[in-house]
Each structure stands twice: as structure tokens, then as C-alpha cells.
Structure 1
Amino acid sequence: MSRLRALWQASLNATKRALTWNVDDLIPPSEKSIFNFNSKEELKRWHLYSDSEYGGLSSASLEINNVGNGLKGIFSGHLSLDVAEDSKWNIRRGGFCGMRSKKFDGFIDLDAYDSIALKLKGDGRCYISTIPLARYLPTWRGNVIDAELEMNPSRILGMSLSVNAEGGVPGAKSGPGDFRVELEWIKALRTE
């Protein structure tokens, strides 16, 4: 008889929970973790790209290292404007590297959020990953695409961070040479 009573009580408790909803349950948290660069497993979620795919001489790496007070992702490499003489591609110069997340299982829904925050330590270069979701810019190989595209924040397939040897904000380090940025996490935030 006690087994039947326990089953009945569990059913009654589930019914009570279903009938007594809380408005706070409908509001997503103010932040959502997307990536944490605190384990070597995180490396499996990213792949690198650079102008070397087209005959350029830039190179990039992504590692998880113990830096200061914990593990961090280190995106680093070398930017070169030069192109290999035997390149089959018709490009005149190189100068970009990036890291792109592998596609999420399906997609990630960021509709409840208005910003993307990255905790990182840079090297003075300008890295491309526009922050307010409403102003996210489509990019290709480290350059902003001049197109009228609207992003659907409820169906995000992936994210990237890239660096270009030329351009950027005034005062930022530019030109060929080494780059390095330490990444701790990437989150979606609701700031409004």
C-alpha cells in the first residue's frame, strides 16, 4: 500500500508544480555562458583559419594554458602580408587569422540577450567580434562584408574571433607581426 501512496503523492506534487508557475521561471537569466576556455576539451569546439588557405603566409594556434590565476585560451600566431610565390590563388597579399566555433548542435538561442561579452586580455591589436547583437556585422576572412543582412539571434550557428594585419580602430597596433590574445570566456548578456 505504501508504494501506491508514494506514487499518488509524486503525482500530486507534479500537478501542484505545474499549476503554480512563477513568472521568474519565464524570464531567462541575465547572462548565458557560451564558451569557457578552462579545459583542453574546449579546443574541440573551435577550428582555426588564416590566409594560408589561399597561399598567404600567416599562421595561428589555439591552446589552453595556465596563465596567471587559471587556465585560459591562447589565440596567437603571426600575421604576414606576403603570399607564397607558388600560390595557385590570385591574391596579392595576406594578413588575416581567425578562430571559428564549430557549429552548435542545431543552434543556440540568444533572442533574450542583447550583447555578447568576452573576457580577454589583448595585445593592442584590433580583434573583430562586434559586441551588441543588434549591430553584429557579417565578416568573411577578417573583413566586414558590406551587405544588408539581418541576423536572427534565436538561431545562432557559431561565432568567431579574427584579426587582420591592416585596418582596425585608430591607435590600435597594426601591420604584420605576432599577435596574442588570452581568452577566459564568452557570454551572452541582457543589459537593457
Structure 2
Amino acid sequence: MSRFRALLNATKKALTWSAEDLMPPKERHIFSFNSKEELKRWHLYSDSEYGGLSSASLEIKESEKGLSGVFSGNLSLDVSNDSKWKISRSGFCGMRSKKFDGFIDLDSYDTVALKVKGDGRCYISTIYTENWVNSPGQEEDNSWQSFVFVPKDNWYIAKIPLARYLPTWRGNVIDAELEMNPSRIVGMSLSVNAEGGVPGARTGPGDFQVEIDWIKALRTE
């Protein structure tokens, strides 16, 4: 085949591409909790770092669907008497991903989905993006949060539109018109508080447990 004919065929093929051919897949796996290697991508935190008495663990266990992650622990409203910190509230635990190697670009997606099996509590899904909201010189990532109600005892796919994530700073919603930049995501987390959440969810101190199969980005539109 001559070079001219090969170029002509390539041009014809390019002209027949549809818009869908140029779009990324409709879903993108971000985390899959099907291997103990996944544990290396996360670290735990709780109020115990500031004198609280809550505790948490993250394990990979066998379930009826195969291997899955289990984030569990105990929420306590008590504070250690000899704590050097003066925290205003206790009763929280979380699992946060270690920073990605660079950024994850989710600009082509509009929803985050989590396949979970819970305990009836309300959890908090957090997306961390490159710092541009905070004051110059601060090293904290920008955080965007949304509630996730996890029904008890049944696997459930929670879908959270990116537009539902609100800008927060140290757990408090920022009262300003800000828009997330989904092309500069540096990490994610899932956390739980003893108090607050959506109406009807289980609240208060005590044990918590949520199983996690995967976390994905979806393009629904």
C-alpha cells in the first residue's frame, strides 16, 4: 500500500470517529480493596492523636464477595485527663489515602461511587485537592466533604455527585462560593463521627464497622 493510500485511509477513519470515541471510559477504578497490598496506600487517624480515646483499624478480610476492606473501631467522647491538647470535640476516626504520585484527573467524571456494607451510621467522604483555597504558605490540602449514609448489613453502592462535595477547613464548611478542581485530586478519605450526620442514621459513641469493596469515579451524563 502506498504512503498516500495509507494516509487517506487514516484520514477517513479519523473522520468517522464519534464523540464517544474521544471520551474516557464511563467509570474509573480509584481504589480496589481486594488485596492486602491495598493497606499500604492508607493510614489511619483519630482523636487519640489529640488526647481522645477513639480507636480504628483497617484490614483486608474474606467476605461472601471475596476479599474486601474492613474499616472498624470504637468512637469515644471521652478525653484523656493527662492530655496536653485541649480539643473541642472528640469521637472521630478516619482512613486517609496516602498522597497520589502527582495528581488524579477526574475532570471527565461527575460522580464518586463507593460499594460498601455498613452499620447504619453516616460516614464522611472527603476529596483532597491541590491547595489553592487556603492562605499562601499553608501546606494543608483543600478538602471537600459529603455525607455517605451506609445502610446496615447489605451491600450498597453509594453515588455522590462531585457537585455535592462542600469545601471545608478542619471539619467546618467554608461559607463561600468555591468550586472544586477535579483535575488536581491528591487524595481521599473516609471518616466517621459519633455525632452529626443525616436524619435516621445511627449516632453516638460505640463500635462502628463498614466494609468497602471499591471506590470509583463515574461519568453519568
Fold conserved between structures, TM > 0.5: yes
The C-alpha deviation readout for 1:102-151, integer Å capped at 9, x for no partner, is: 1111110111111000000010110012221112123456x343343321
Any stretches of 5+ residues in structure 2 without a counterpart? 126-145, 147-159
Say if 1:86 and 1:136 are closer, same or farther in 2 by CA, change over 3 A.
Answer: same
Q: TM-score, normalised by structure 1?
A: 0.86
The C-alpha deviation readout for 1:11-32, integer Å capped at 9, x for no partner, is: 99x9789643333431111111
Aligned partners of 1:82 and 1:93 also within 8 Å: no
Which range moves more in the overlay, 161-170 or 21-30?
21-30
- 2:174 is matched with which residue? 146
Structure 2 residue aligned with 1:29, among 25, 35, 43? Answer: 25
Distance in 2 separating the partners of 1:82 and 1:52: 10
Structure 1 residue aligned with 2:123, among 121, 127, 131? Answer: 127
What percent of counterpart residues are identical?
74
Structure 2 matches for 1:149-168, cutoff 5 A? 149-168=178-197
Say if 1:60 and 1:138 are closer, same or farther in 2 by CA, change over 3 A.
Answer: farther
Aligned partners of 1:83 and 1:92 also within 8 Å: no
Distance in 2 separating the partners of 1:139 and 1:160: 13
The C-alpha deviation readout for 1:132-186, integer Å capped at 9, x for no partner, is: 1112123456x34334332101111111111000011111111100000000000
Secondary structure in 2 aligned to 1:157? strand
Distance in 2 separating the partners of 1:155 and 1:65: 32
Say if 1:106 and 1:86 are closer, same or farther in 2 by CA, change over 3 A.
Answer: same
Higher helix proportion, which one?
1
> What is the identity, as a one-letter code, of the residue corresponding to 2:38?
E
> What is the identity, as a one-letter code, of the residue corresponding to 1:60?
A
- 1:66 is matched with which residue? 62
What is the CA-CA distance between 1:91 and the residue it aligns to? 1.8
Structure 2 matches for 1:9-20, cutoff 5 A? 19=11, 20=13
Aligned partners of 1:103 and 1:157 also within 8 Å: yes
Q: TM-score, normalised by structure 2?
A: 0.75
What is the CA-CA distance between 1:79 and the residue it aligns to? 0.3
- 1:112 is matched with which residue? 108
Higher strand proportion, which one?
2
- 2:95 is matched with which residue? 99
Say if 1:102 and 1:18 are closer, same or farther in 2 by CA, change over 3 A.
Answer: farther
Say if 1:166 and 1:39 are closer, same or farther in 2 by CA, change over 3 A.
Answer: same
> Do residues 56 (structure 1) and 85 (structure 2) align?
no
> Do residues 90 (structure 1) and 86 (structure 2) align?
yes
- 1:191 is matched with which residue? 220
What is the CA-CA distance between 1:51 and the residue it aligns to? 0.5
The C-alpha deviation readout for 1:64-99, integer Å capped at 9, x for no partner, is: 000112000000000000010011111244100011
Secondary structure in 1 aligned to 2:195? coil
Distance in 1 separating the partners of 2:10 and 2:96: 41
Decide which structure has the larger Cα Rg and report it. 1
> What is the identity, as a one-letter code, of the residue corresponding to 1:173?
R
Distance in 2 separating the partners of 1:113 and 1:17: 33
**Across the two proteins, how many residue pairs are aligned to each other?**
183
